[in-house]
DNA sequence: GCCGGTGCTGTGAGTCCGCTGAGAACCTGT
DNA sequence: ACAGGTTCTCAGCGGACTCACAGCACCGGC
């Protein structure tokens, strides 16, 4: 099992290297975000341990870029626990697990093993709805077998709808979860526009409007 | 057992953290409503301890949003206020239990344990009354199996009635709770109009008039 | 039967909500 | 630098909704 540890504090980095090596992992170190991203891109790691506070490129940025490049290597984020948004952000950006400093080494090991175990059952399941099909692993969407090209926002909006069928979703919630975690700085109209795009590409019957409340995946 | 404590007073927050940790819980803290909501959304908590008076987003808002997002994590509300309406409010918005400050720590612990025990039978979110059926998750209303289209006000008025069966509700209270929290600037006649709409769509036998007092859901 | 009070409902004006086309700003790859 | 795609805002439109008004219906007391 090959791990990449991205951590700028030398003491911490060496301690992790020593411990994880002793527990049978092969460990590579990177001391900043840029180096970590470059290493992770090589695609040879079974998991990445990623500090949030890094000089230059933050851990958030690293995992966000990896995901946008279709790199789904398991990522565990590590951060000093201070900001209220930390954990939410990390998971939003595509980390698979999250650990706050100070942490117990045994806990880290357990969570890491769980992460690797989880990952070994191969990829996230395909989401289906009527003749629509979305594969989170490849980010591919097909309608009645025909591939449909979606932009990033369109895709993520659709994925959110498919992950929450059978319930009404408000525009505010969509702005929170699909757009920015803080959900501010966007107009509700933006959601309307993107729902419009999806309807144009996938048929107007897919997403139902619930006036005064939001949208819902049609049955 | 993992708990989320949402509390803005640092002293209180730390005291709770210390006590609950000593009693074997894993405790995360959030200092305001927005952070609390973000954390609670992650869905990893066995229960949430939620202060009502929070800067920004109030505890009421937090639990309301969680429920509207289909998140049924057990929530215990904590508030300095102790008016009879407060308690009703908290429970209305979807809290599972309610505690008023100042409270005894032992009481908190007992109620919390009871809450966690109770949780094994999940709460049914669908409201029923005779052959009427209202699902808050989808905002869908069916009468004898037939879907009924309601406008926003109509729906919210009906939901309020269904959440308060077996009691007379004054027009003033409805204006307070369904219309504007301030309840001013509306005529009582508005309620009459909307009750009329509901009767037309759902049958005249549903909502009984209590002359001089208000309305009541028919038995 | 008469009367005051209360509730019901048809009408219509104004408002709000959601949809869409157009276009500015911004990336990204060539 | 340029072209093509993407993101997001804006303005305008049409329709749904909200609510006040006013007159009518109903109820209860005399």
pLDDT at B123: 46
Q: Which residue is nearest to nucleotide D26 (CA to C1')?
A: B211
Q: Which of A42-51, A73-82, A205-214: highest mean pLDDT?
A: A205-214
Average pLDDT of chain A to the nearest whole number: 82
pLDDT at B152: 94
- Mean predicted confidence (pLDDT) in B181-206: 88
Chain A interface test: which of B2, B38, B153 (most A C-beta within 10 Å): B38
Chain B interface test: which of A176, A177, A209, A214 (most B C-beta within 10 Å): A176
> Which of strand C's nucleotides are less than 7 A from any protein C-beta?
6-11, 17-22
Q: What's the gap in Å between the CA of B125 and the closest CA on chain A? A: 12
pLDDT (tens digit per residue) in B40-66: 887 778 899 999 888 878 888 888 888
Contact B38 A181 (CB under 8 A): yes
pLDDT score of A62 more than 90: no
Three-state secondary structure readout of chain A: CEEEEECCCHHHHHHHHHHHHHCCCEEEEECCHHHHHHHHHCCCCCEEEEECCCCCCCHHHHHHHHHHCCCCCCEEEEEECCCCCHHHHHHHHCCCEEEEECCCHHHHHHHHHHHHHHHHCCCCCCEEECCEEEECCCCEEEECCEEECCCHHHHHHHHHHHHCCCCCECHHHHHHHHHCCCCCCCCHHHHHHHHHHHHHHHCCCCEEEECCCEEEECC
- Under the banding of pLDDT at 50, 70 and 90, the label for residue B87 is low
Separation of alpha carbons B54 and B6, rounded Å: 8
Q: What's the gap in Å between the CA of A120 and the closest CA on chain B? A: 22
Write the CA distances from A194 to A133, A162, A209, B159, integer angstroms: 19, 15, 13, 30
Contact A167 B138 (CB under 8 A): yes
Contact B137 A173 (CB under 8 A): no
- Under the banding of pLDDT at 50, 70 and 90, the label for residue B86 is low
pLDDT score of A208 more than 80: yes
Contact B38 A216 (CB under 8 A): no
Ramachandran class of A189: left when φ > 0, alpha when ψ lies in -120 to 50, beta otherwise: alpha
Residue positions counted in chain A: 219
Contact B41 A210 (CB under 8 A): no
First and final CA of chain B: distance in angstroms?
42
Which residues does chain B have within 8 Å of residue A212's beta carbon, measured at their own beta carbons? 151-152, 155
pLDDT at A85: 44
Q: What's the gap in Å between the CA of B36 and the closest CA on chain A? A: 8
pLDDT (tens digit per residue) in A190-205: 999 999 999 999 999 9
First and final CA of chain A: distance in angstroms?
44
Does any strand C atom come closer than 7 Å to the Cβ of A193?
Answer: yes
Average pLDDT of chain B to the nearest whole number: 84
Does any strand C atom come closer than 7 Å to the Cβ of A147?
Answer: no
Contact B38 A212 (CB under 8 A): no
Q: Does A213 reach chain B within 8 Å, measured CB to CB?
A: yes
> Which of strand D's nucleotides are less than 7 A from any protein C-beta?
5-11, 16-22, 27-28
Write the DSSP symbol of residue B42: T
Closest CB from B31, B42, B138 relative to A84: B31
Which residues does chain B have within 8 Å of residue A173's beta carbon, measured at their own beta carbons? 65, 68-69
Give the residue with greater pLDDT, B134 vs B166: B134
Q: Which residues contact B41 (CB under 8 A, 6 or more apart)?
A: A88, B66, B69, B71
pLDDT score of A148 more than 90: yes
- Mean predicted confidence (pLDDT) in B128-132: 90
pLDDT (tens digit per residue) in A78-133: 876 554 444 445 555 667 777 777 777 877 887 888 778 766 544 557 888 989 99
Torsion angle, alpha carbons of A174, A175, A176, A178, to 10: 70
- Mean predicted confidence (pLDDT) in B176-205: 87
pLDDT at A88: 46
Separation of alpha carbons A139 and A151, rounded Å: 10
- Under the banding of pLDDT at 50, 70 and 90, the label for residue B122 is very low
Closest CB from A88, A168, A181 relative to B139: A168
pLDDT at B169: 93
pLDDT score of B209 more than 90: yes
pTM for the model stands at 0.63
Contact A88 B139 (CB under 8 A): no
């Amino acid at each position: 099992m090959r791990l990449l540890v991205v951590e700028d504090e030398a003491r911490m980095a060496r301690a992790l290297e020593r411990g994880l090596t002793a527990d049978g992992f092969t460990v590579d170190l990177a001391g900043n975000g840029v180096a970590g991203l470059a290493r992770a891109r090589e695609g040879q790691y079974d998991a990445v341990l990623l500090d949030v506070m890094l000089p230059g490129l933050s851990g958030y940025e690293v995992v966000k870029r990896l995901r946008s490049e279709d790199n789904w290597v398991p990522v565990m984020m590590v951060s000093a626990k201070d900001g209220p948004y930390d954990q939410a952000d990390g998971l939003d950006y595509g980390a698979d697990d999250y650990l706050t400093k100070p942490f117990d080494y045994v806990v880290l090991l357990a969570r890491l093993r769980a992460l690797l175990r989880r990952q070994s059952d191969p990829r996230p399941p395909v989401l289906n709805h009527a003749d629509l099909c979305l594969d989170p692993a490849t980010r591919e969407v097909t309608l009645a077998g025909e591939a449909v090209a979606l932009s990033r926002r369109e895709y993520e909006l659709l994925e959110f709808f498919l992950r929450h069928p059978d319930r009404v979703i408000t525009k505010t919630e969509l702005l929170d979860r699909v757009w920015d975690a803080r959900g501010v700085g966007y107009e509700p109209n933006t959601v309307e526009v993107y729902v419009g795009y999806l309807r144009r590409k996938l048929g107007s019957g897919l997403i139902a409007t619930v006036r005064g409340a939001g949208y819902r995946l049609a049955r």
